[in-house]
Amino acid sequence: MAGFRLAVLTLVSAGAMLCGLWLLDPLVSGSGWLPPSAAVLTAMALVGAGLRFLPRGAALLVPPAQLLVALAVVTAVFAPQAAVAGFVPTPASLDELGRILLQGRQEIDANPPPVAGTAGVALVFALGAAAAGAVGDVLSVTARTPALTGVPLFAMLLFPLAVDDQGVGAGAFALAACGYLALLAVDGWVRGSGWAPHAGAPASRALGALRHGLLSAGVAAAALALALLVPVALPNLASGSVYEMAGPPGPDQTVTTTHPLVSLRHDLGSRSDSVVLEYTTDSSSPAYLRTFVLDAFDGTDWTMSPVRLDEGDVLDGASLPPVPGLTGGDYERVSSEITLERDVRDTAFLPLPYPARELGIEGEWYADPDSLMVFGTSVQDPSPRYTVTSLELQPDPARLTGSGADSLDERFLVVPSGVDDRVARLARSITEDADDRLAQAVALQDWFTGDGGFRYDLNPPPLPQGADPLAHFLFDSRVGYCEQFAASMALMARQLDIPARVAVGYTAGSRTADGSWQVRESDAHAWPELYFPGQGWLRFEPTPGDGQGTASVPEYATGAPSAPSDRESPEEDSPDPEESEAPEEEDDAAPDREDTAAPDRELPDSGGAAPGDGGGPWPAAAAAAVLVLLPALLRAVRRRARLVRAGAAAPVAAAEAAWAEVRDLCLDLGLGWSTVESPRAAALRIASAAALDDGSAEALERIARAEETARYAPEPAAQPSLPADLRTLSMALRRSAAPAARARAALLPRSLLRLPARPSGPVGPGSPRRAAGVPGR
């Protein structure tokens, strides 16, 4: 019967892991990764359940047997042609699995989530599921600590949270929570079935098992409810500020955020395509809304140089710093009022038309003078609306033909030495007929949008093993989305001595029937910005028009006004903008780039921009703290449940709960315990070993007498003093222990693992009921 109960617990543990798999869904596009992972967990569960029917010593065979069957399953799925009978591993099949695994890791490293569900990615997830299943089985069945199975489930939750600021779906979280609660409830049934006070009474056994199971599930459900409701009641816990590194401004302080390309990929791959923001403007052809500027290229990734806080960058009033490089030209002032939707109001960087000149918003905000990005020092809830005045640049193409970069920081021309030489030759070949800088930029743009034969696709083909992502995109696949097009054009422009960077934000969106504009997640976009002396930074549009429906080519790059294809035309044209106002004096003057440039600014390394690094060390520290404190929390919940049961349950159940708590106190504090020791003998030994005073010794004696009465008396009498006696004894035992023993008992309670302990005194005769085969408490 014990084997059956453990087999059921094994299957339910695997079921909890299966329910947790859906937490990983935001990381992969499509569902092809799920069947291999589910097959691995199912096979491991069946093997573990079968071995649980064998004699007790066979429990040591379960983990290696499960891992072997997991290897057989992945071999059958991913490398059957190199295996014996299609599933028995061989050296050749192991080599093939290693190759596929390496390819999957490279794809995950090279692409922001959700990554394509290729065979390599599916193998990575299947092996991860095998590891989680093995750990969950050991914790739930072998160590009999199913509550700790929440650790691998928490790991499944932590991965998507680390790389995706939108979190996981409510349905996936609810499914994982239900699996966890079911595991605790079944474990309660198993324990109740084995510890029933009367071995010959099936009805009593069933009632005790049910009560134990419901108590376990109830405690876990209450803990989950608190975890969900407390952040709602305390907004500071729900603000996400734990992931922020920025605090009060300081001279050497940097601001961190989620990697912009991770946010971009999430928006473009969103299934909901929800509204990000709405705005009204007096422009008939609004500019893109820029959020981030990526100015550093390390050979593989474009990243944002550290944004440093300086007291001079605080927005004092409404004015922003001067527009870098703008010394003249035609432009009009445009006013816009932007309303952010609730699910993006926690951003620390604001989407703004470039170049913004005035900003009306509540709170403490900073402006980076090099890029005019506006950001807060921490994740804060900005006003639902903010107003911005920007310049609608109308540069004369004749003035965009010059060369040079004024006193612009040379980092905008940096090209790493490891870039494939063919890229520079390709850039020169495309622009060989161009006479000036603007012609070169337009030639590059037109090559991407038409002449080069590129195709827009949010799920480009997987990167071959060892291939350079840039060279593969330009010379082989020629399939990608805005990130690849913008990054490639910016790099090729630098190789032509044109300063360039990559901007990330949103297109202008679509105009609605009431004349306002609406921006959705699918309008997330990346584009290159190129620098022209006297005109500053101007955007170009190399992404093919058949992919990003609301993207548009700027007029100066085509010679004719552009009209976004999918935008809804207003019922009547907007009125002509007012006469352009004269620019403010400080806007006309060229900024002193030598004073504001930061040539010694460190470029982030390639690892610093990897998905999931945006939150810094705080997520890992919080997860470590949870793991360290989890045993103490579980022990406290168990102690409290026993105190309640000792005072409110029937006499037998109350005595059982009190005596079980005495046992766990002794195990935690190192006083020893033996299942063959009678309650009276155990009480005498504990009182002597801990040197209890008279009051504490009497409390222990009453608890022991209640346990003996529950075991042997036909109708045990109630003992209302048990909760008070337990508290008195607990305080006395803890006072008598050494400080190191108390700390170990608090942080690493031995009783959670049910490890046998050597008694420190003489062992008395065993009870008749234990001698008859009923498990000890």
**270-324: per-residue pLDDT in tens?**
666 788 899 999 998 899 999 999 999 988 889 888 776 665 566 765 688 889 8
Of 47, 57, 210, the C-alpha closest to 137 is 47
Residue position matching structure tokens 């108590």: 215
Section 615-644 average pLDDT: 66
Residue 496: exposure state from Cβ atoms within 10 A (0-12, 13-18, ≥19)? buried
Q: How far is CA 737 from the centre of its chain?
A: 42
Supply the pTM of this predicted model. Answer: 0.50
**For 707, how many CA atoms within 13 A lie in the half-sphere containing its CB?**
26
* Percent of the chain with pLDDT strictly greater than 90: 25
Section 652-659 average pLDDT: 88
Encode 279-303 in three state secondary structure. EEECCCCCCCEEEEEECEECCCCEE
CB neighbours of 536 closer than 8 A, spacing ≥ 6?
323, 324, 325, 326, 355
Q: Is a pLDDT exceeding 70 seen at residue 250?
A: no
For residues 112 and 262, the answer to whether their CB atoms sit within 8 Å is: yes
**For 721, how many CA atoms within 13 A lie in the half-sphere containing its CB?**
13
pLDDT at 90: 92
Type of residue found at 649: A
The sheet carrying 524-532 orders its strands as 352-353, 289-294, 500-506, 524-532, 536-539
For the record, the structure tokens of 755 come out as: 């490890």
* Separation between Cα atoms, residue 718 and residue 411, nearest integer Å: 81
What pLDDT digit, counting tens, does each position of 340-381 carry? Answer: 875 554 457 889 999 999 988 877 788 888 899 988 765 555
Helices and strands (H and E) in the chain: how many: 23, 21
CB neighbours of 488 closer than 8 A, spacing ≥ 6?
448, 470, 473, 474, 542
φ and ψ at residue 614, rounded to 5 degrees: -65, -30
For the record, the structure tokens of 539 come out as: 């955007």
Section 630-644 average pLDDT: 78
Section 380-407 average pLDDT: 73
Q: Is a pLDDT exceeding 60 seen at residue 615?
A: no
* Separation between Cα atoms, residue 47 and residue 70, nearest integer Å: 10
What pLDDT digit, counting tens, does each position of 536-592 carry? Answer: 899 999 998 777 778 888 888 885 443 343 434 333 343 443 343 444 444 443 344
* Separation between Cα atoms, residue 222 and residue 677, nearest integer Å: 36
* Separation between Cα atoms, residue 380 and residue 66, nearest integer Å: 47
186 vs 163, residue with greater confidence? 186
Q: Which of 410-419, 420-429, 463-472 has the lowest mean pLDDT?
A: 463-472
In this prediction, residue 242 has a pLDDT band, given cuts at 50, 70 and 90, of very low
What pLDDT digit, counting tens, does each position of 444-484 carry? Answer: 999 999 878 899 988 888 888 778 889 999 999 999 899 99
CA distances 399 to 326, 436, 553, Å, are: 12, 11, 19
Indicate the average pLDDT of the chain: 76
